[in-house]
Amino acid sequence: MTLYERAFASVAVRIDAETAHHQAFRAIRAARPALAALDRVRPGPARPVTAMGLEFAHPLGLAAGFDKNAVGIDALAALGFAFVEVGTVTGRAQPGNPRPRLFRLPDDRVIVNRMGFNNDGAEAVAQRLAARAAKRNRRERPARGPVLGVNIGKTKVVDENDEAAVLGDYGLSARLLSPYADYLVVNVSSPNTPGLRSLQAVERLEPLLAHVRRTADQATDAAGRDRVPLLVKIAPDLADEDVTGVADLALALGLDGIVATNTTISRDDLTSDQQVVAALGAGGISGPVVAARATEVLRLLRATVGDDLTIIGVGGIDDVDEARARLAAGATLLQAYTGFVYGGPAWPRRIARGLEEHPHP
């Protein structure tokens, strides 16, 4: 057990999880200059991956949900992530669900969240990303930053049954954010926005993805930027036939990839006290209990789409062995969130170095 893990087990678990998250994130941002200086002296691991026309320093990135508002991209990259996915960002700013809404179950090393897409909205995040881009462009020798993904979702007050309103909402985010994204992810799989997961049905997903694709293309053309790769993020709770249906749709629409998977609503594999679990209430679960199903979904997707489509494997990647297994199962790239929270600031670089030293079979 690392020093961080001992401190987490004895101190951090006593603090409200959302409060602890904000405190830790502030500390990471404050430490960015020191982390950047250390990185210049001791370069990070290099196992480059080319995917979607982009160059990734190594396969491991940070999943959406940690930096919802794009306030710490470069600080998080300095910890060792090759790419950072910000969001989920919605068309309009929204506070999310009432607190408390973020919980830990340390015995299972999982997180339960029902955040509800709390974020500053697409316009504010776009302004933040524009300022970051302008600052980087002013540098005589701009440092190579992480690959930046932007994850977009539905504003809660938009009726999921009003197709025009849903398309307009996602389209607003795509128009404002595509010019700053290295890749764009359509999130239809969070369990914490009512009705959102119904958009995963192929007949509803097809017009949504087609609209986001057109809108993103118009926005990047107007900005003089290359076409932004587009992916869709799906839930582990989909039936197998629905997983393959999404895969077929991704091929038919010419998507660039799929993110597999989001959190689960299942509580079946938890070993924590069931009364404690029930008392926490609704929410998606992330962590090792998601790993088996996330890997099954990954294998189904890879078997359906073949070798060309990018698949980002996420859900329950807790150590190097699991990361290697996910790559062996067909993932092009990897993302983590809960493993990072429980593993601490040295965790990303440790996993990336482990993959460099012992690539998957």
- The verdict on whether residue 316 carries a ligand-binding annotation is yes
- The verdict on whether residue 338 carries a ligand-binding annotation is yes
How many CB atoms neighbour CB 201 within 10 A? 14
- The verdict on whether residue 195 carries a ligand-binding annotation is no
- The verdict on whether residue 69 carries a ligand-binding annotation is no
- The verdict on whether residue 116 carries a ligand-binding annotation is yes
- The verdict on whether residue 8 carries a ligand-binding annotation is no
- Residue 264 CB partners (closer than 8 Å, separation 6+): 235, 236, 237, 284, 285, 286, 289, 290, 293, 315
- The verdict on whether residue 113 carries a ligand-binding annotation is yes
β pairing state of 333-336 and 284-286: unpaired
Q: Is 327 exposed, middle or buried (0-12, 13-18, 19+ CB in 10 A)?
A: buried
User: What letter represents residue 110's amino acid?
Assistant: V
**Residue 272 falls in the annotated catalytic set:** no
The two structure tokens encoding residue 271:
């070993």
- The verdict on whether residue 72 carries a ligand-binding annotation is no
- The verdict on whether residue 68 carries a ligand-binding annotation is yes
- Residue 34 CB partners (closer than 8 Å, separation 6+): none
- State the catalytic residue, choosing from 190, 198, 272, 286: 190
CA distance 84 to 274: 34
- The verdict on whether residue 117 carries a ligand-binding annotation is yes
- The verdict on whether residue 81 carries a ligand-binding annotation is no
- The verdict on whether residue 1 carries a ligand-binding annotation is no
**DSSP-assigned beta bridge partners for residue 311:** 258
- The verdict on whether residue 64 carries a ligand-binding annotation is yes
CA distance 50 to 34: 29
β pairing state of 102-105 and 110-113: antiparallel
CA dihedral 352, 358, 360, 361 (to 10 degrees): 170
- The verdict on whether residue 187 carries a ligand-binding annotation is yes
- CA-nearest of 287, 360, 288 to 324 is 360
Q: Can you say which residues are annotated as belonging to the binding site for FMN?
A: 64-68, 88, 151, 187, 233, 261, 287, 316, 337-338
Known catalytic residues are: 190
Annotated binding-site positions: 64-68, 88, 113-117, 151, 187, 192, 233, 261-263, 287, 316, 337-338
Binding-site members for substrate are 68, 113-117, 187, 192, 262-263
